[in-house]
Amino acid sequence: MHSLLLKAAATALTLVAAAAAAVHVGGHVKSAAAPLHPGVLGAPSAISSPSGGSLKLAPAVRASNVEAVTSTYVS
């Protein structure tokens, strides 16, 4: 009796998890207009230390005038 209850509970949990995943995926449909790598806004900032050194921080993604990538081979 306990094994039957355990199997039924495991099956119910699996079905609930599958349904929740389907709802989540359905709510996040791919948008062809959304860029995969959005542009970085803002200017780089500089930090100076009391000892006289400085560190200039800049984003790794640079703005450009090329068309945005909206799809890849995998997607």
Please state, in angstroms and rounded to a whole number, the distance separating the CA atoms of residues 9 and 15. Answer: 10
Query: Into how many domains does the chain fold?
Result: 1
pLDDT at site 6: 96
Q: Is residue 37 part of a domain?
A: yes
Choose among 13, 10, 68: nearest CA to 39. 68
Q: Which domain holds residue 44?
A: 2-57
Output the pTM of the full model: 0.43
Q: Is residue 35 part of a domain?
A: yes
Q: Is residue 45 part of a domain?
A: yes
pLDDT at site 58: 65
pLDDT at site 28: 80
Q: Is residue 75 part of a domain?
A: no
Q: Is residue 65 part of a domain?
A: no
pLDDT at site 27: 85
Please state, in angstroms and rounded to a whole number, the distance separating the CA atoms of residues 74 and 33. Answer: 17
Block mean pLDDT (10 aa), the chain, length 75:
94 97 87 65 60 67 71 65
Handedness of CA 19, 21, 25, 27 (dihedral sign): positive
Beta-strand relationship, 54-57 and 45-48: antiparallel
Q: Is residue 69 part of a domain?
A: no
Q: Is residue 47 part of a domain?
A: yes
